[in-house]
Structure 1
Amino acid sequence: MYVSCFLGPTGRGPADDLPLIDFCIEMGIEADKAGFALVNVGEQHFTNYEPYSDPFVIGGILARELERAWFGTTVINLAYHNPIRLAEHLNLMDLLTRGKCFLGVSTGHLPFFSSQFGVPENYRKETAFQRLDVALAAIAKDSGDPPLAWRTDLEQGTLALRIMPIGYRTGHPVVGFATNTDATIAKAGGQAWPVALGRYNLVESARRMKVYRDALQAAGHPQDAVDECLALSSVTKAIVIADTDEQAWQLAEKQLRGFMNFTCSVATRRELDDTRSMKELWDDTVPGPVDISHNTFTAPEWIQASAVIGSPETVARQLRAYEEAGICHIDARFVYVTSTPPKHGAASASSPTRSCPASAPRRSPVRRPSASVPSTASRRRPGACRGCSGEPCQGRHAAPPGWSTSHERRDRCQPVRHRRRPRRRRPLDRRRSGTGRRHERCRRCRVTRLLPQHLPPTEPGAHRMTASTIVDVHAHHLPERLGQAFTHLSGRPYPLRHKEDHSRRLAGLDEAGIDQQILGTCAIQPYWPDAAAAAEGARVANDLYAQMCAQVPRFHAFGAVPLPHTDAAATEAVRCLDELGFAGIGLGCSADGVTLDDPSLDAFWSALDERSAVVYLHPGVRNDLALGVSEYPMLLGPVFGSPPRKLSHCHDSS
């Protein structure tokens, strides 16, 4: 089963906006480290709920931080988005995440909130579908295509150029529906789009997912598309977990009561007046399916449809029941920060409750505000206390409800400082050099091709190339026994002295923040006149690198080939790529006086071209192609060892 982490805190008012946005970013990073499959955000406005409001902005921030987890939206509300701007935003998120994003959209809306954006009263679900169709048609349009005239019930226009930026995936990004209706669930299955389902109990969740599975099967989609859809399709749950069931229910009483009232107020504009404890509401079992997408749900229905509460063993048992019912993915929320719902049109001033200690990230940049935050916070003078209406204070304030004694150090008065916070140390690929330019060394090594995969592994530790892996592609590794073999076969001295103890090399990779390394002979190639000796030298080198790659999963290799002997080089290249699983073929700039664009090597290039192979070209020089800079021997000849006209021809033909 896959588990997502949903970033959906609720604040008390404007003073909480920035701390909670910082908290969401840090929680997303920690969720990625913990092995969650997706980090999901939503789109809310005006209610103090999900204060970042724009899922694309928060997604752009997280795209550079998430290493394994996908980024997801549950959901983007189509009522608030122009279709052409939506197309740009979808492509932008797809590009920034290197294709590792699921963009869930919603066709429904709450008239009270959409009216704040000027959405007319006649806005219908059909209009949302029209906007989505226009956005996807715009994404599919190339700059050379005829102008695209588009129209919805609310707007119209003509797209003459292309959508910028281009998307990362072929076709369009992974788009799906967040829905509570069987018709839209079946529509998503027919189009091979994932679905993000709402809050239901086990019986209703299994029924809704069966509707989706049946639609997928009836449409006859390829199995890999079905697998990806099921992996990304989720049911939403609020999870409260503690060491024991009793402690978990105590936390639920503090956390979920306010969240239940808040969601009821936003969705139905009414308040639940059931005063029983959360455990009593849970025990008041509602027979049969429970769906709280309607406006008349009761408190027992809400908690039974929404929550998973208990010790780790209890929570695991409940989630396992969903997995056995055919549900592959849970969209889990862990943070609840409100205790009373806001009035419509007014900000809430309720006190926050502590997020679940067993599930919330250990590190958080949130500076939790004290019990009373005045509206004049932005006008306090330096040295004023955040909890004393702007006046200097020497004392301490009482902890807000639900905080334990472990949080006492955060209860002290926090003076307002009118200066920027110290900046965190930049990652290696973001540091600036002494010239003021961005340091790009490591970023250039990123693998930008999305390898075939449905979701990243939910458990960290697997060293495999992904869209966010940092790879050193220029790694000289020339062991002593390779030098001995080359010396014996060629009759030339090869004093190679690299150690085969990889501990120092791996420590250096860790220190530099590099995930993997591609080994190769680089400029030391078996380019010898004797074809048999050259072929044997290449075979010995490749077998040695294959052995090292098998011992250290972080190592890959570029294969060596016996050029200029075309047939032997093609045979060894095929063995490296098809049998040994090398990352590509490493070449020098010329082979025993034969340049790489020589017609005699055409058969070798054809063998590589048939496999769309990666070729690594190691720079070098040829003194017989001197440019006349005799006082600088290393500058003699073009850096790639071929005349410029031949280099141009080689580049064009590739």
Structure 2
Amino acid sequence: MRFSIYLNAQSPGPDHDLDVIEAVTEQALRADRSGFAGICLTEHHFTGYNTYGNPFTFGAYLAPQLRDAYVVLSVAVPALWHPLNFAEACNTLDLLTRGRCVIGVGTGGSPQEYKGLGRDPEQRGPMMQEVLDVAGEALAKTLEDPDLEYETTHSRGVLTRRVMPAAFTPGGPRFGRASLSDEGVLYAAERGWVLMTARDSAAEIGRKWSLYHKALQEAGHDAETVRFAREWSMVQKMVYVAESDEAARRDVAGPLDYLAEQSRRTFGGGAEGAGFKNSVVGVSPVDREAFVDRAMIVGGPDTVASAIAEYRAQGVEHMTLVFLYGQMDPALADASLDRFVRDVMPRFAGPSGNGGR
């Protein structure tokens, strides 16, 4: 079983932004030194949901500080990008990490982010695909190829030479797809991409995992593509490890209140108003019990380990875990991470004995 850490901390306001970024940087370095396989970064803008905003920039900042962990974008939102800027960013991150990166993509979750960047959230799927299509052609273009003329909903132009810099990884950066739908699962498998999913029961995740592995094997990819895709496909959970189940529930009450309020402000007053969010990430914190059940693993070390074991029994070999969220006190998040590394992670160590890697 492999573990990655997911960094998506919220800030109380501009005076705290640097403190929050320093806190998640410290978590990234501690996770790297503790045997976590990857540092997962996400892209959010304007909503207060993610302090560092641009995962490519933050990933480039972390890259030289990491000893072993990959930088994993989980996820970038291509629909919010110019396709050639996106292509450049992908190659730059791949080069700076010396190929130790996975660039996951998804449609994003908040209409406010689309509005802020002049995009129609109702078209997020088609816009994502057209950016990916153009970026893919641009990444493949050599100096000897003819000019690449392109047009998307929000951009048009001609690439006359090549995307710079070149990628470090032969054949270009490795990509992943975030999805909760079977359609997205098959999309990833057919392309030989990593699958990133979240916020569902172990049984449902297991069904999707079986679908993905079968389609991946039947797609005719080479053995290395299949190996890498399986190794880096992951399930995300928000985690809190306390000394007891009761203490864990008590400590996450405040962060859950914050997340629910953020959801109400962004998507509406009730579960119905969060429909856009639910359609993208499965369940809203407005529905607290469902959110805790499907999006989180909360409890003492034995409870957390037991919940993770349920996913492992369904064939999940990699989980990405969020330890700092909902303006949680960084000291509580650090203590939770410490307990996970000390009391939970060793129970899932693989044959290498390297912290679950």
TM-score, structure 2 normalization: 0.87
Is contact 2:260-2:285 (8 Å) kept?
A: no
1:319 aligns with 2:318: no
1:580-622 deviation per Cα after TM superposition (whole angstroms, max 9, x unaligned): xxxxxxxxxxxxxxxxxxxxxxxxxxxxxxxxxxxxxxxxxxx
Distance change (3 Å), C-alpha of 1:190 and 1:16: same
Q: What letter corresponds to residue 268 of structure 2 in structure 1? A: R
Q: Tell me the residue number matched to 2:64.
A: 64
Report 1:576-595 matches (<5 A).
none
Q: What letter corresponds to residue 459 of structure 1 in structure 2? A: N
Q: Give me the CA root mean square deviation.
A: 2.6
Following the alignment from structure 1 to structure 2, what is the Cα–Cα distance between the partners of residues 72 and 458? 22
Distance change (3 Å), C-alpha of 1:110 and 1:356: closer
Q: Tell me the residue number matched to 1:592.
A: none
- Specify every segment of 5 or more residues in structure 2 that has no aligned partner in the other structure, as ranges: 272-279, 340-351
Is contact 1:254-1:353 (8 Å) kept?
A: no
Is contact 2:180-2:281 (8 Å) kept?
A: no
Q: Tell me the residue number matched to 1:299.
A: 288
Q: Tell me the residue number matched to 1:211.
A: 211
1:122-166 deviation per Cα after TM superposition (whole angstroms, max 9, x unaligned): 634122111111111111111222111122233221100111100
Distance change (3 Å), C-alpha of 1:170 and 1:313: same
1:453-477 deviation per Cα after TM superposition (whole angstroms, max 9, x unaligned): xxxx7727x9xxxxxxxxxxxxxxx
Is contact 1:41-1:55 (8 Å) kept?
A: yes
CA apart distance, 1:117: 1.1
CA apart distance, 1:217: 2.1
1:356 aligns with 2:333: yes
* Bigger mean CA deviation after superposition, 254-263 or 299-308: 254-263
Secondary structure of residue in 2 paired with 1:28: helix
1:508-535 deviation per Cα after TM superposition (whole angstroms, max 9, x unaligned): xxxxxxxxxxxxxxxxxxxxxxxxxxxx
Distance change (3 Å), C-alpha of 1:356 and 1:91: same
Larger radius of gyration: 1
Q: Tell me the residue number matched to 1:269.
A: 268
Q: Tell me the residue number matched to 2:92.
A: 92
Report 1:84-123 matches (<5 A).
84-120=84-120, 123=123
Is contact 1:265-1:271 (8 Å) kept?
A: no
Tell me which protein shows more helix as a share of its residues.
2
Q: What letter corresponds to residue 323 of structure 2 in structure 1? A: F
1:170-189 deviation per Cα after TM superposition (whole angstroms, max 9, x unaligned): 11101111122211210110
Distance change (3 Å), C-alpha of 1:254 and 1:357: farther
Q: Tell me the residue number matched to 2:151.
A: 151
Secondary structure of residue in 2 paired with 1:36: coil
1:137 aligns with 2:137: yes
Report 1:554-593 matches (<5 A).
none
Following the alignment from structure 1 to structure 2, what is the Cα–Cα distance between the partners of residues 358 and 223? 40
1:372-413 deviation per Cα after TM superposition (whole angstroms, max 9, x unaligned): xxxxxxxxxxxxxxxxxxxxxxxxxxxxxxxxxxxxxxxxxx
CA apart distance, 1:316: 1.2
- Specify every segment of 5 or more residues in structure 1 that has no aligned partner in the other structure, as ranges: 273-290, 340-351, 363-456, 463-654
Distance change (3 Å), C-alpha of 1:170 and 1:162: same
Distance change (3 Å), C-alpha of 1:11 and 1:458: farther
Distance change (3 Å), C-alpha of 1:3 and 1:458: farther
Is contact 2:199-2:283 (8 Å) kept?
A: no
Q: Tell me the residue number matched to 2:354.
A: 459
Query: Structure with the greater relative contact order (CA < 8 A, sep ≥ 6): 1 or 2?
Result: 2
Q: Tell me the residue number matched to 2:39.
A: 39
Following the alignment from structure 1 to structure 2, what is the Cα–Cα distance between the partners of residues 234 and 259? 23
Q: What letter corresponds to residue 335 of structure 1 in structure 2? A: L
Count of matched residue pairs: 338
Following the alignment from structure 1 to structure 2, what is the Cα–Cα distance between the partners of residues 257 and 84? 40
Q: Tell me the residue number matched to 1:230.
A: 230
Q: What letter corresponds to residue 23 of structure 2 in structure 1? A: F
Q: Tell me the residue number matched to 1:566.
A: none
Is contact 2:256-2:288 (8 Å) kept?
A: no
1:547-567 deviation per Cα after TM superposition (whole angstroms, max 9, x unaligned): xxxxxxxxxxxxxxxxxxxxx
